[in-house]
Every structure is written in structure tokens, then in C-alpha cells.
Structure 1
Amino acid sequence: MRAAARAPLRVPALEVEQPSGRRLYLFAVDGKVVPSFATVSRVRRASGVLEGYQRPEALGHVAAIREYMESAGALVPNAVVLAFDSRVRFETLAGAAEGARHGHLVIPRQSGPEAPGFIVDGQQRLAAVRDAAVMAFPLACTGFIAETVGQQAEQFILVNSTKPLPKGLIHELLPSTTAALPAALERKRLPSQLLARLNLDEGSSLRGLVITQTCPAAKGKTGGGWTAVIKDTSLLAALEDSLADGTLYDLERAGAGMDAMVARVSAWWAAVASTWPNAWARQPTESRLSHGAGVRALSLLMDFACQFLAQEGNGTPTQADFERELALVRDVCAWTSGTWAFPSGERRWNDIQNTPKEVALLAQHLGALYRERRAAKPHRRTRKAGAA
């Protein structure tokens, strides 16, 4: 015995006619209800013929969106785009004005291959709503009638071929946000805030040296000051490393605020500048100190130095303290000329590349020499207040 057909879904909607004569339908619906009338046209080949257009779910992306949707204050303003076949109809309300007409969209409730709707854009958002531990999550939707898969694929291509936001712009915008964000962005908020302070604060040793969307790279000096030479992604990665398991992690765990973190990093790079003045603030093609590999390797060395200094009782190292630590490896660095004497063999100064393997090679080399030379020095115990 066949199950009784479900009553169609009736949702308030606006009908907008565009110059081409095609009509759009703007409405809202609980995201958990969408699978009852719309499906995914998954891309595949059958007998050599391409069918469908949607890519598989990106599980990590879905999980991040789901986590955000379950957070307090979650807001998803971008609309899901749905294509409907001719079974979906629009009923205009009596007396509706010209232009955007008010009415109801009537959608048959059938799921699976027989569904009258297809998800053109918003697959990951809908999958996240489906899995989210919330009773309901209304979403804005834009619908249109498309009788062929080709028409659906056309809109899918147009929606998904737009240029995404540059990562650098996202990182630069993050410090101004306060609401909960997807986990991947949440992890970058504090390092992005630190990067902004280091690049903009008046007293920062890195002021104006970091390439961002609003502080682009340029050659040489302008207006008596150095132009940006350090890629934001390199410094951001260095800050993330330190926040995960370095001196910034120790500061955060101790309850220190952002001012203390900025001061620590600024003091370190001020010491770097005074230790290698001829390599400082030059283009990465002229100095590997400004290169991603140099930035990340020296940042890891900062974590080593702070660890040793803390063991000696110096929990608030100054620029002068850092200069003494850097002096231990000053003569072995080939930032602008010469060669690096790695255990595996010599490498020309400009052969070092910004890859995980090369960053690790440089960081391990500097770290090993630093520990070796520091072990040969007598420990300097910091005098405590009130000591004779």
C-alpha cells in the first residue's frame, strides 16, 4: 500500500522578474526541511557522458560550519541557491504590485531523485544544518525554474567561479571581529590581532614592514622609512607557532594580555635588526632574513631563547637580553651572502626556500648551534629584587 503523499510546502516568497524574463523567488525556509524537497546533483560519468555538477561534501568544511551554527550569535546571511523544475509554482497574492510580487511558493515534498529542487549553491551549509545540534536553522534562499541540468550547471559555474577573498584580506579583517567564528578562523583571530598591532603600533620594531592588503609591498625606501618586505602569511605562521607551543603560549597561559605579547615579539625583532643591520628590512630576494624561511626560523629561535632565559629567572627579557642571545649565532648566519654550513652540506644563502622542509632545516640548524654555544657559557642568574 502506497504511503499518502505529503502536502506540498507553501512558503511566503517574492517573485522578481529580471530583464531576460527569467524569474527569481526569494524566500526563507528551515535548513533542516530542505532535504524533503531538494537534492544534490552529484557530478559523475555514466557511459562516458558527464552527469550532474556538484562536488562531494567537504567534511572538514561542513564540520567547521556546523560548529559555528551551534554557537551563540551565529549568523548565516548568504542565501542558498536552489533550482526547481516546473512542478514548483508561484501563487501571487491578490492585489500584488508590479516589480517584486508577493505570494507563496508551492513546492511538492519529494526527496531523492524525484525531488523537484536541486541545490546549486549552499551544499556545505545545508549539510552543516542537517548535522547541527539545533532544533531549526532558517536560511535565506533564492530559487529559479530550470528545466535542464545544463541550466542548473550554468548557474553553478557562475556562482562558484567568482574570485574568493584573498587570505591576507581575511586576516586583516579578523582583528575587528568579536562574534564567534568557524574554528579555522577563530584560531587565526589572536595571531591576526598581534600581527596588526606589530605592523601598526607606533613603537613596534615591525611597524610598516609587514605586507598586507592595506600595506602593500614596494621597493626601496619611501619618505625616509622602509617599505613593507615581510609577507603577512610568514609572520602569521610564526605567531601561530609561538602561540601553540612557544613563548606566546607561556604568556597567554600566565594570563598576560596582548600588550605583553606585542612587547615580547617587538623586542625580539628589534634585537634582530640591531644584530644584522645590513640584512634588516630588505627585500626577500636581497636578504633571507625578510624571507618566510628566515622569519619563521628566527621566531622559533625566539622561543628557544625565552625558554633558556626563563630557566635563569628572566621572565621579561628586554631587547638587550635578546641581543646577547642572538650574538651567539650572529657569525653563522648567511642572510645576504655567503653560505650556510648545514650538517648535510653547504647551501648558498639564496638557495633557502620557504617550504616546511627548508624552514625546519634552518630552524634546527640555528637552534642546535644556539643550544651548543649557550651550554658552553656560564649561566647568568637574574638578581631578584632586594638581593644584596
Structure 2
Amino acid sequence: MPELRLPALKIHQGRGRSLYTFAMDGKLVPQIATVSRVRRDERTELHGYQRPEVLAHVAAIRRYIETDESPLLPNAIVIAFDERVRFEPGGGTDADGPGYVETGTLVIPLVDGPEHHRPGFIVDGQQRCAAIRDANIDAFPVSISAFIANGTADQRSQFILVNSTKALPKGLIHELLPGASGALPAPLRVRQLPATLLEKLNFDELRSPLYRMIQTPTNPGGYIKDNSILRMLENSLSDGALYRYRNDEALPYTGEMLTLLYNFWGAVEQVFPDAWNKPPRRSRLMHGAGIISMGYLMDAIRHARDDSDGLIEVDEFAADLKVIADDCHWTEGEWVFPDGVVRKWNDIQNTPRDIQRVADFLQSRYRQSQKTRGR
């Protein structure tokens, strides 16, 4: 198999990881690396991690490269290679130099066939690579930083970390988090569990009543904003119905969490069929205010049934929801709140004040019904 041999520096970093720095003609990068586009297959399995090219950004870089004004792209392209790439030490290390740097040759196989067979995936710099690829120039050398990845999960983690300080869409980060591995910043670690639950809610065709209803980069047709679901899950994980299954000393009991979520939202679908799976402009149940406030109600029902054995079944959740159904106005009518405020159904907004108002109202009506029923 033909190979590309490039002079390189091997930089030893923490915990046995190494970074390889080298230069090559940007026109040749597509021969060794491709972009792993984020997508889901027919079984809803997540593949890749990169967003589509931003055409306007690519065009602007291309125009700059094609000018006669000595264009300079100082930032390195970041590439994740698989284990087919190897480093051959040069044997001429300066004894007085730093011990964490080796000189040598990076050997990269040149693979024919589909792009996804290439040994490298671009982690950062896809817009620059696309601009150089399309530019009307003969060559444009670029600096490249590369590492050998331990699989797709490692690539996703590095992609998230590299782009965490840039304007990377939050929805893309949330969709990649369940399949990421290794050390992540604390704010991302906190969101990894709710992002994992969201993925199951959205793509478990057999069990989830919310199947493909949540809007994500790979499911843009969903009516419910992913951030609304995440906030509902985070609230419950913090001190609600899901908290008891967190198991902070070991792996969380995600199976029990998901069963509770499936049962509750299955009951919501049963009790409010006219408000289910509609655009938020037609149903405030699918709106951020509805999703988050109903999450608080789920927590209240779980707390009220705290003496029940096992998880609450769908019919049990449905029985509790039916007693407050007439007070809910997701698609028509007016909300009449205890403080005398009257709001038309579509005047409810996704603001902290409105969410709290609806959540408090639903929980209050539910607790009153429990007293009436002697529970």
C-alpha cells in the first residue's frame, strides 16, 4: 500500500498520549483525512460528529487565500488518525533538548476507495480545508496537529473539547455527549447523563412515547426543543423523581430512570391526545413551558406515591393526570391562576416566570385532588 512519509515532531503529553505536529500541502489533506458528518443510520445509531460546512465561511476563507496579499493561516488543522498511522523515531534526538519531544517521520497510508476509509478524520479546521480544496491555487502548505484516537468515542470527546470555547451549536454538543468518553470539563460531565436520557427518549422506537419528537441536529423535524427536555431532566435529576436513581457512588440506574420517564410521558399522551405531537404554536404542552412544568408535576406525583412499590405504571400516572386535566389549557381556552391572573392559552411563554406559574398551578391542583381523594 502506498504511504505518505512526513517529517514530524512527536510531543509526549499527559497519561501516555502523544501529539504529532507536521506540515503538508493543504491540497493533499483530503487524501489522508475526511470529515465525519454527524448523522443517524436506519437504526437511529449516531455516527460522526461534524456539522455541515458553513458555505459562507468557506467562501470567505477561499477569497482570502486566492488574494495576492500574502495570506496566512496560522492555526493548525487538527486530525484524529486511527491506528494504521505510525511514527518512526528519527534517532537524532538532541540530548540537550526537552525530553518530551522526538523528531521522526509520520507514516500515513494512502487508501483508495470511499472517503470514510481514510485513516484520518478532521476534528478542527474543516472550513479551512474545504477552502483550500476549492481555491484556485496550486498549493497551500498548512500546519497540522494530529493524535492517534482510540475509537470514535475518543474522536467525539476531542471534537467537543477543541470546540467547547467556540460558537459550536449546543444541540450538537448535547447529541454527541452520550457517545463521548474520557475526561470532559465538569459542565459537560454534568450534562452527559441528561443527554443520554434524551437520546433514549428520542430514538427508542419500541418504548418511548417521545420517539423522534425532540428536535436535534440529526432529527430537525421534532417539535420539542432539546433544551426543554434537558431542563426537565436536569430538574428531576437534581432533586426530583430521577434523583433516587442517580447512584452517585457508581453507575446511575438509567434503566429505572427511562422506565419512569416512558411511563409518565406515555400517560401524558393518553390524557392529552389533542395536545400531543403538535407544533408549540398549536400546543403549549409541546412548548418549553409545558414540558418543564409537566416535569415538575411528574416529580410531585412520584413524591406523593413515595410509599408505592417499584415504579409507577402508565395507568397510575394517567389516573393522577386526569384529575387535573380540566384545569389545563394547552390548545385553547384560558388559564385561571389562583392569584387572579387569567392568561390565554397561547400567551404562556417559555420564560422562568411563566414556567414557574404553570408548574406551581399544576402541582397545587394535584395536591388538592390528593386531599379530596384522601391520599
Q: What TM-score comes out, normalization by structure 2 length?
A: 0.56
- Give the aligned partner of residue 200 of structure 1: 203
Partner of 2:278: 282
Structure 1 Cα separation of the partners of residues 245 and 22 of structure 2 = 54
Distance 1:363 1:186 in 2: 28
Q: Which runs of 5+ in 2 are unaligned?
A: 1-10, 12-19, 27-64, 77-96, 99-122, 126-139, 144-162
Q: Is the 8 A contact 2:293 2:356 kept in 1?
A: yes
How many angstroms does 1:316 deviate by?
Answer: 1.0
Within 5 Å, which residues of 2 pair with 1:1-388? Answer: 20=70, 164-201=167-204, 202-217=206-221, 228-253=222-247, 257-311=253-307, 313-344=308-339, 345-379=341-375
- Quote the Cα distance in structure 2 between the aligned partners of 1:216 and 1:245: 31
Q: Which amino acid aligns with 1:343?
A: P
- Offset from partner CA, 1:202-252 (integer Å, 9 cap, x none): 2111111111111112xxxxxxxxxx2111110011001000011111122
1:49-77 deviation line (CA, Å, top 9, x unaligned): xxxxxxxxxxxxxxxxxxxxxxxxxxxx9
Q: 1:261 to 1:23 in 2, by over 3 A?
A: closer
Q: Deviations over 1:256-275 (max 9, x none)?
A: 62121111101101100100
Pick closer, same or farther for the CA change 1:258–1:209 going to 2, 3 Å: same
Residues paired across the two proteins, number: 235
Does the 8 Å CA contact 1:289/1:295 hold for their aligned counterparts? Answer: yes
8 Å contact 1:268–1:302 — kept in the other structure?
A: yes
CA RMSD after TM alignment = 3.4
CA distance in 2, matches of 1:277, 1:307: 25
Shift of 1:346: 1.0
- Whether the 8 Å contact between 2:247 and 2:253 is mirrored in structure 1 is no
Give the match's secondary structure for 2:342: strand
SS in 2 for 1:278: helix
C-alpha offsets along residues 61-119 of structure 1, whole Å, 9 cap, x if unaligned?
xxxxxxxxxxxxxxxx979xxxxxxxxxxxxxxxxxxx9799xxxxxxxxxxxxxxxxx
> Equivalents in 2 of 1:23, 1:278: separation in Å?
55
- 1:53 counterpart residue number: none
Q: Percent identity?
A: 37
Distance 2:252 2:169 in 1: 32
In structure 2, what is the Cα distance between the partners aligned to 1:307 and 1:285? 32
Calculate the TM-score normalised by the size of structure 1: 0.55
| C-alpha displacement of 1:332 | 0.4
Query: What CA deviation, in whole Å up to 9, does each residue of 1:129-174 have, x standing for no partner?
Result: xxxxxxxxxxxxxxxxxxxxxxxxxxxxxxx9x9722111110000
Query: 2:270 corresponds to which letter in structure 1?
Result: S
Cα 1:243–1:100 shift into 2, 3 Å: same
Unaligned stretches of 5+ residues in structure 1: 1-10, 31-76, 80-98, 103-159, 218-227, 380-388
* Cα contact 1:169–1:213 (8 A) shared by 2: yes
**Structure number with bigger Rg:** 1
**Matching residue's letter, 1:333:** C
Structure 2 counterpart of 1:229, which letter? Y
Shift of 1:23: 8.6
